Amino acid sequence: MRIAWATDIHLEFLTPAGLTRFVVSLAESKADAFLLSGDISQARGLEKHLRILERSLERPIYFVLGNHDFYHGSIGAVRELAGRMTGASSQLRWLPAVAPVELSEHCGLIGHDGWADGRAGDYANSSVSLNDFRLIEEFQALGFAERLGLMQRLAGEAADFFLEQLPIALSRWKQVILLTHVPPFAAAAWHLGRISDADWLPFFASEIVGTTLESVMEQHPDGELLVLCGHTHSPGEVAVLPNLTVVTGGARYGHPEIQREWEV
Give the pLDDT confidence of 191-229 residue by residue, as tens digits: 888 999 999 999 999 999 999 999 999 999 999 999 999
The torsion angles phi and psi of 4, rounded to 5 degrees, stand at -125, 135
How does the average pLDDT of the chain come out, rounded?
97
Q: Is the pTM of this model over 0.95?
A: yes
- Cα dihedral sign for 48, 54, 56, 62? positive
Give the pLDDT confidence of 239-258 residue by residue, as tens digits: 999 999 999 999 999 999 99
Q: Can you name the residues that pair with 247 across neighbouring β-strands?
A: 228, 237
What is the per-residue pLDDT for 233? 96
What is the per-residue pLDDT for 206? 98
Residue 185 Cα distances to 118, 176, 228, angstroms: 12, 18, 12
Give the pLDDT confidence of 50-97 residue by residue, as tens digits: 999 999 999 999 999 999 999 999 999 999 999 999 999 999 999 999
Structural domains of the chain ordered from first start: 2-263 (3.60.21.10)
Q: What letter represents residue 225's amino acid?
A: L
Helices (H), 139-239: 144-172, 201-204, 207-219
What is the per-residue pLDDT for 193? 87
What is the per-residue pLDDT for 111? 98
Give the whole-number percent of the chain exceeding pLDDT 90: 99
Is the model's pLDDT at 15 over the cut of 90?
yes
